[in-house]
Structures are given as C-alpha cells and as structure tokens.
C-alpha cells in the first residue's frame, strides 16, 4: 500500500519548491534606476547591500512588520532605501520614490519569478486524489493575493489554503506556522499531513517536530543534500519524483 492512502493533506513551500527567482536582484534595481534616467547600480554592491538590509529589517520588524503594524510598502521602502545606501547610492527623496515604486511593482508581479513546470500538475494531481493542498511560506500578502495567481497557481483550483508569514505574524522555522496549517486543514492529525520543502532547517525539522511527515526537494543539486540524506530525510529531485514516490508501494516514512 502506498503512503498516499495514509494522507489527507500535503503542504508545500513556495520559493525553491514551486517557483524560483528569475535573473538577479540587480536586474530589477538596474531597470528601476534606468527608468528615471539614472545609471545602472553596481550589481554586486546592491546584492550585498540588500542582503544586509533585509536581514536587519527581518530582525527589527519580523514577518514584514506584522507585530509593529507596519504597512507592507513601508517595510519594503525602508529595506530598499537601506540597500541602496549600503551600496553607496543615496538618492534624493523624489528620485528614490520613483525608483522604489518601480521595484515594488516589479516584485509584486510575476516578472521576477518562474514557476517550475511540474508545480501546477503536481498540485492538481494531489487535489484529484481527494487530498487538500496547503501553502506554507515566509512571504508577504502579495504572494497570496497577486504573485501566485499571476503565475497561474490559484486558490481553489491549485491549492486550498495558505499560511503566509506576513499575514500570520509567525515564520518558519517556528513550528507554530505548521500548527496553523494543521488548523486550516480542519484540525487534521499531523500524521495525516506531509510537508514538502527545500530547507532542512525551515521545512523538514519544524514540520517533523509537530508530528507531520516531511520530505525535501533538491532541485538545484545542493551540496547539503547528502547531509540531509545521512540525517534520515527523504530527498527527491523534483515534484514528479515526489509523485512517483508517493505512489510507490516501497515508500515509507
């Protein structure tokens, strides 16, 4: 008997599992600067600046400012301004406002993302088996309301419920985000739910800690995958591999 018959819900991570970033951060910052007649910022400096600015904002105002009741656009404006300043670009207020609006609009659309070809077929197949599909993501509200639908992943036809850190005020690897998912699934017992993600720390460990099953995808041939396997995790190349595994009589948790 396959594992599938024991499950009533499958939850999935988003970035690295269902979709990936397209191009580099610098591409979008460059396009925004050029749109107001500015030279293209240095990619490496902007990338480094963003990494530090994002980490700083995530520590000060986690979950995109949820607890501080900070509007999403204000959180990102602060982060983007700091990214540019750290990279050595201190634009005047009017110029920065124009550049930021372009960046904010870009990352609130489908433009910077590419969906893996097996994502929608897998989600629809899971729902056809009579299982619920849940999304669990450390993302802001635009993923739910704009970005996933723009990529063709719609609530109701591709997934049943979503748990997004910017809307819940809790983020992976906090196990509470998985407990929220179990509630959304109708208070299912955790042993009837499987979580699929691409991070041992954020996906596998916390999902297992609340009693859910878990497996990891290694879409990009990461050097960490061997360690994941050694620690006992099921590691598969993609969602088609996950489907085959779920249907296999030899599959086991």
Shared domain check, 44 and 167: no
Please give the residue range of the domain that contains residue 73.
Answer: 25-108
Domain count, the chain: 2
Hey, is 212 helix, strand or coil? coil
- The string of pLDDT tens digits covering residues 228-246 is 999 999 999 999 999 999 9
Shared domain check, 170 and 52: no
- The string of pLDDT tens digits covering residues 70-84 is 999 999 999 999 999
Q: Which pLDDT score, from 0 to 100, does residue 54 have?
A: 97
Shared domain check, 128 and 77: no
Between 248 and 56, residue with greater pLDDT: 56
Shared domain check, 85 and 29: yes
Shared domain check, 92 and 135: no
Shared domain check, 164 and 53: no
Please tell me the pTM assigned to this model. Answer: 0.94
Burial of 210 (0-12, 13-18, 19+ CB in 10 A): middle
Partner residues linked to 134 by β-bridges: 11, 161
Shared domain check, 122 and 176: yes
- d(Cα 128, Cα 136) in Å, to the nearest integer? 20
60 domain residue, yes or no? yes
Shared domain check, 160 and 89: no
Hey, is 7 helix, strand or coil? coil
Shared domain check, 149 and 37: no
Shared domain check, 196 and 145: yes
Are 140 and 72 in contact, with CB atoms under 8 Å apart? Answer: yes
Residue 79, H or E segment: helix 72-86
Domain harbouring 103, CATH code: 1.10.150.720
149 domain residue, yes or no? yes
Shared domain check, 129 and 65: no
């Amino acid at each position: 008997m396959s594992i599938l018959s024991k499950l009533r819900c499958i939850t999935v991570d988003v970035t690295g599992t269902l979709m990936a970033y397209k191009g580099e951060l610098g591409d979008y910052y460059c396009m925004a600067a050029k749109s107001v007649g500015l030279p293209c910022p240095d990619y490496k400096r902007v990338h480094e600046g963003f990494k530090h600015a994002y980490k700083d904002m995530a520590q000060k105002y986690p979950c995109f400012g949820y607890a501080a009741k900070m509007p999403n656009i204000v959180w990102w404006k602060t982060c983007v301004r700091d990214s540019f300043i750290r990279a050595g670009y201190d634009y005047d207020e009017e110029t920065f406002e124009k550049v930021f609006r372009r960046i904010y609009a870009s990352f609130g659309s489908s433009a910077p993302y590419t969906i893996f070809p097996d994502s929608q077929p897998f989600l629809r197949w899971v729902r056809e088996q009579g299982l619920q599909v849940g999304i669990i993501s450390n993302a802001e509200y635009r993923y739910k309301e704009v970005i996933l639908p723009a990529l063709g992943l719609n609530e109701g036809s591709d997934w049943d419920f979503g748990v997004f850190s910017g809307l819940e005020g809790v983020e992976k690897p906090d196990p509470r985000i998985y407990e929220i998912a179990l509630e959304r699934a109708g208070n299912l017992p955790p042993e009837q739910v499987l979580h699929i993600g691409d991070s041992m720390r954020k996906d596998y460990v916390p999902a297992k800690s609340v009693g859910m099953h878990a497996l990891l995808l290694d879409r990009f041939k990461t050097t960490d995958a061997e360690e994941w396997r050694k620690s006992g995790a099921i590691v598969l190349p993609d969602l088609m591999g996950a489907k085959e595994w779920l249907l296999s009589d030899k599959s086991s948790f």
